[in-house]
Chain A
């Protein structure tokens, strides 16, 4: 069964550094998402992406965050200058249509020191 894949599984970075989290959505899906889960807290929506542009974003997704689909298969989340509070599990997801079920990857655990 097709899967959403994310790399790396764990990323450790120093405060102030830039990180790029990578995702390969399911190939025939058109909608792409990033969610995050701070340890012990709810899974929170960050951003949705369709037709090469952001369609929705939460208040968490500030100017430090950006997303890109650099080619036909990858979908990336960049955090420009990481803060300690960015430490979380970041999940990529994709869906075939706007209201179709979301399929999630296994996540990237980001640790900011």
Chain B
């Protein structure tokens, strides 16, 4: 089956690190994505990782992938108030090309 699960809410203080977690059930996923949605806005691609990688770093963002546990995480270093948004984890399965399956999203609230 295919289902992506995320915790619904995370609150951090400005300057702290944020870690948003995601689990997926289909081990045949090829790519895993993180999208950001600010209030009233669209889905902004933040970063993605191919399933044969363990880690990807892009400036303040670090993605960790544990294929054995089907666990994906997004770490945001030095979190800023502008990082407050909903973060969606999404996977692509090899059987349906480029059809993304999204989690429900994690609302990140960054307080000053």
Genuine A/B complex: yes
Q: Which of A14-22, A62-70, A77-85, A100-108 contacts B (4 or more CB under 8 A)?
A: A100-108
What separation, in Å, do the CA atoms of A4 and B42 have in the docked complex? 10
| 25 contacts across the A-B interface (CB closer than 8 A) | A42-B103, A42-B105, A43-B90, A43-B100, A48-B97, A48-B99, A55-B97, A56-B97, A91-B43, A93-B43, A95-B98, A98-B97, A99-B30, A99-B31, A100-B98, A101-B31, A101-B48, A102-B33, A102-B98, A102-B100, A104-B42, A104-B45, A106-B41, A107-B41, A107-B42
Which residue on chain A has the smallest CB distance to residue B33? A101
The answer to whether A99 touches B98, judged by C-beta atoms less than 8 angstroms apart, is yes
Nearest CB of A to B65, in Å: 16
- The main secondary structure of chain A at its interface with chain B is strand
What separation, in Å, do the CA atoms of A42 and B99 have in the docked complex? 14
The answer to whether B43 touches A43, judged by C-beta atoms less than 8 angstroms apart, is yes
Number of interface residues of B (CB under 8 A): 23
8 A Cβ contacts from B1-42 to A: 30-31, 33, 35, 41-42
Given contacts A41-B104, A104-B35, whether A33 and B42 have CB atoms under 8 Å apart is: no
Known: A4-B42, A93-B43, A100-B98. 14 other contacts (CB 8 A): A33-B98, A42-B103, A43-B102, A45-B100, A56-B99, A99-B92, A101-B45, A101-B48, A102-B98, A102-B100, A104-B42, A104-B43, A106-B42, A107-B42
